[in-house]
Chain A
Amino acid sequence: MTGAGFEFFQQIINGLAVGAVYALIALGYTMVYGIIELINFAHGEIYMMGAYGGIIILAALMALGLPLGLALSFALLGTLLLTGLYGVATERLAYRPLRGASRLAPLISALGMSIFFQQYVLLSQGARDKIFPVELSSGGFSAGGVKVSYIQAAILLVATLLMVGLTLFVGKTRVGRAMRATAQDPVMASLSGVPVNGVIALTFFIGSSLAAVAGFMIAMYYGKVNYLVGYMAGLKAFVAAVLGGIGNIPGAMAGGLVLGVVESLAAGYIGGEYKDVVAFGILIAVLIVRPEGLLGTRLPEKV
């Protein structure tokens, strides 16, 4: 393959891997926004804590002498559970008491939680990078010079499975119907016997565990994590959610993938130092031109 062609396709692959992670985080934003109309600023930190939790649990399991495959799966499961519960606790302590308060109050509370979590991890785990305890193979598939590493392939696969699973769960199950009902009108839903608080807690749990999966895979992919990564990743995922139409689950996936690819192309063809400008530029442009996002439908504002 020619140099230019190779570069372009390789950038798309790089972008899709990063974009799949954005998409997983974006799902949490979009589900929470869909159901209680709150931008959960702390969601980026939840993702970061998912990565830390995974590394800590994995290190502990390996110290116990579990075989690698088993340790990896249990660590993923462990951090998924732990981080999901962190999400539920955040909702219970910082957002639920503020339901019905002014619009600014939960936003500021979310900002506070985000700072709190960042400092909590900094103080308990230190400022230096946390290194993934296993050195995974850097091999991969190769076609015409374009290389897809095993980890990239795994990220894409896991993300796709989770997204499909989530869509089916929300669309086809009883619980999913309760979630949609709560999103449309919490009062009516509760009158029809939907346990609204439980549904909201479950939404936070699912969104946070998806972020934990993203965090765990990213820690595996980059080999390290730092207490600061949540801020930027959270922002980017939010951009992805907005891009796809916030509150819209397929939109979040599409938005994540598109953002990842656009960023990759921008970094490759414009320059690495400008890729964040491009990402935020897209955010502003979308909000101004088409606030309902790529896949969203324009809704009349609730009064």
Chain B
Amino acid sequence: MDYLRRIAAIVAASLVIAGMSSCGPGRHVVRVAVIGPMTGEQAKQGKDMADGARLAVEEWNAKGGILGKRIELLVGDDAQDPKQANSLANKMWTMGVVLVVGHYNSSCTIPASEIYNLRHMVMITPASTNPKVTDRGYKTLFRVCGRDDQQGLVAAQYVVRFMPGAKVTVLHDKTTYGQGLADEFMANYEKLSAKKVVYYGAIVKEDQDYSAVLTSLKPLDPDLLYFGGLYPQAGLLVRQMRQLGLKAILMAGDGTYDPEFIRIAGANNAEGSLLTFMPDQEKIPGAQAVIASYRKRFGEVGPYSLYSYEAMNIGLSGIAKAGALDGLKAAAAIHSSSFETVFGPISFDAKGDVLDSPYVVWRVESGRLVQIPYK
């Protein structure tokens, strides 16, 4: 029986150790969570999200918390893995969380939101732009950033207006985000210009050499390459286009908004590249006070810091308006109100998207990303 007792002891001990960290919420705190990629190559974006949410929570706590209780912020790391996102969503439910700010990648947000819908938790994403996030008609999901169909539309409008007659090619990185965005751009472009794109294809994200695919583009002599994907691949694509003697301009989406894009491509190669993103935060007068206190507390403001900050503010306001820790009531309150944010007033449509498309066009000018006057 010695052996049995030992096994039971091992099993019980490991279960108890694991259990200790996950007791139910205390009576005097309200638990909210921010979830994003806190480790891996997107760790910086994850930290930006966490810091933004933390700033909001600290401000609320300084004003006396919510529903008479202190707010406790939990930070979750989905490591950009859908499976972990899903299991974190379950974990947050079991810990009594009713409000989640997250996730970053659409590929994580979509599966995790199935759980949020099932468990009546409010989820507000500051960064996931794939239309499917909100298109399933779930009542407790919101997003404060834009949608890829809005983003693809803005890009298509820009190309049709400023590059008429251009030969357009499309590539994506075969991910939920990249393929979704590339498809939206292509559909909008073909509708608006009544022309077909001359090439549509994919690259492998883990790969470093795209010259084979670019070589098959070269005889088409394209003027524009629209890329659905993230900055490391976008940077390599521009670099290898120039090495092959391709002059096409690269245009991409919010996933390419990162100074590393220019460093990887090489400043000369990247010059003139275009991307769609939200407006320059430095130029929004209402945001400067928040930016200043964020800088003082955490350092440089990332592209998604303020979106995460406002997502948390909106979520907490929803709970406060509902007057109870109830996801469904809080979601109803968010749907029926308008919120004053650093980006101006925000209200949500029936799906949970912001009413106005926030996207503007940016361009690489003398080695820096600059917002250009086009919307």
Q: Which residues of A contact B243 (CB under 8 A)?
A: 138, 140, 147, 149, 151
B219 within 8 A of A: yes
Grouping DSSP codes into helix (H, G, I), strand (E, B) and loop, the A interface class, with mixed when no group exceeds half, is helix
The answer, among A14, A228, A232, for a CB contact under 8 Å with B211, is A14
B366 within 8 A of A: no
Question: Once the chains bind, are A128 and B44 in contact (CB under 8 Å)?
Answer: yes
A65 within 8 A of B: no
A11 to B212, CA, bound (A): 6
Question: Once the chains bind, are B212 and A226 in contact (CB under 8 Å)?
Answer: no
A276 to B203, CA, bound (A): 11
Whether A223 touches B264, Cβ cut-off 8 Å, given contacts A7-B218, A147-B245, A275-B212, is yes
Q: Please list 14 pairs of residues, one from A and one from B, whose beta carbons are closer than 8 Å in the complex, sorted by A's number.
A: A6-B218, A11-B215, A128-B44, A128-B260, A138-B243, A149-B243, A222-B209, A223-B265, A223-B266, A224-B235, A224-B264, A228-B206, A232-B207, A271-B202
Interface residues of A in 135-156 (CB under 8 A from B): 135, 138, 140, 142, 147, 149, 151
Whether A15 touches B203, Cβ cut-off 8 Å, given contacts A127-B40, A129-B264, A138-B266, is no
Question: Once the chains bind, are B266 and A10 in contact (CB under 8 Å)?
Answer: no
Q: Which residues of A contact B242 (CB under 8 A)?
A: 138
Q: Which residues of B contact A127 (CB under 8 A)?
A: 39-43
Question: Once the chains bind, are B208 and A131 in contact (CB under 8 Å)?
Answer: no
Chain A residue nearest to B205 (CB atoms) is A273
Question: Once the chains bind, are A229 and B208 in contact (CB under 8 Å)?
Answer: yes
Whether A6 touches B219, Cβ cut-off 8 Å, given contacts A129-B232, A222-B239, is yes
Whether A3 touches B219, Cβ cut-off 8 Å, given contacts A127-B39, A138-B266, is yes
Chain B residue nearest to A269 (CB atoms) is B216
Q: Using CB atoms and an 8 Å cutoff, list the residues of chain A in contact with chain B.
A: 3-4, 6-7, 10-11, 14-15, 18, 127-129, 131, 135, 138, 140, 142, 147, 149, 151, 218, 222-224, 226, 228-229, 232, 263-269, 271-273, 275-276
* 10 cross-chain pairs, A with B, having the tightest CB-CB distances, nearest first: A267-B212, A3-B219, A273-B202, A127-B41, A272-B213, A264-B212, A14-B211, A272-B203, A268-B216, A10-B215
Question: Once the chains bind, are B41 and A226 in contact (CB under 8 Å)?
Answer: yes
A127 to B80, CA, bound (A): 13
CB distance from A181 to the nearest CB of B (A): 39
Interface residues of B in 201-237 (CB under 8 A from A): 201-204, 206-213, 215-216, 218-219, 232, 235-236
Whether A128 touches B41, Cβ cut-off 8 Å, given contacts A224-B236, A269-B216, is yes
A44 to B176, CA, bound (A): 29
Question: Once the chains bind, are B39 and A232 in contact (CB under 8 Å)?
Answer: no
A6 to B215, CA, bound (A): 9
Question: Once the chains bind, are A267 and B208 in contact (CB under 8 Å)?
Answer: no
B119 within 8 A of A: no
CB distance from B237 to the nearest CB of A (A): 11
B244 within 8 A of A: yes
Grouping DSSP codes into helix (H, G, I), strand (E, B) and loop, the B interface class, with mixed when no group exceeds half, is helix
Q: Which residues of A contact B351 (CB under 8 A)?
A: none
CB distance from B169 to the nearest CB of A (A): 13
CB distance from A134 to the nearest CB of B (A): 10
Q: Which residues of A contact B266 (CB under 8 A)?
A: 135, 138, 223
A4 to B267, CA, bound (A): 32
The answer, among B42, B211, B232, for a CB contact under 8 Å with A224, is B232
Q: Which residues of B contact A222 (CB under 8 A)?
A: 208-209, 236, 239-240
Chain A residue nearest to B266 (CB atoms) is A135
A15 to B201, CA, bound (A): 19
A111 to B213, CA, bound (A): 32
B269 within 8 A of A: yes
Whether A142 touches B245, Cβ cut-off 8 Å, given contacts A272-B203, A272-B212, is yes
B174 within 8 A of A: yes
B293 within 8 A of A: no
Question: Once the chains bind, are A263 and B264 in contact (CB under 8 Å)?
Answer: no
B363 within 8 A of A: no
A273 to B204, CA, bound (A): 5
A78 to B360, CA, bound (A): 47
Question: Once the chains bind, are B204 and A14 in contact (CB under 8 Å)?
Answer: no
Question: Once the chains bind, are A272 and B210 in contact (CB under 8 Å)?
Answer: yes
B268 within 8 A of A: yes
A276 to B207, CA, bound (A): 9
Q: Which residues of B contact A138 (CB under 8 A)?
A: 239, 242-243, 266, 269
From B204, B232, B268, residue with most partner A Cβ within 10 Å:
B204
Question: Once the chains bind, are A232 and B219 in contact (CB under 8 Å)?
Answer: no
The answer, among A135, A151, A265, for a CB contact under 8 Å with B268, is A135
B321 within 8 A of A: no
Per-position contact with A for B39-69: 1 when CB-CB < 8 Å, else 0? Answer: 1111110000000000000000000000000
Q: Which residues of A contact B215 (CB under 8 A)?
A: 7, 10-11, 14, 264, 268
CB distance from B331 to the nearest CB of A (A): 35
Interface residues of B in 234-282 (CB under 8 A from A): 235-236, 239-240, 242-245, 260, 263-269
Q: Which residues of A contact B208 (CB under 8 A)?
A: 218, 222, 229
CB distance from A150 to the nearest CB of B (A): 10
CB distance from B355 to the nearest CB of A (A): 35
Question: Once the chains bind, are B232 and A7 in contact (CB under 8 Å)?
Answer: no
From B43, B171, B216, B235, residue with most partner A Cβ within 10 Å:
B216
Q: Which residues of A contact B39 (CB under 8 A)?
A: 127
Interface residues of B in 55-94 (CB under 8 A from A): none
Question: Once the chains bind, are B263 and A131 in contact (CB under 8 Å)?
Answer: yes
Q: Which residues of B contact A6 (CB under 8 A)?
A: 218-219
A131 to B219, CA, bound (A): 30
CB distance from B253 to the nearest CB of A (A): 19
Chain A residue nearest to B269 (CB atoms) is A138
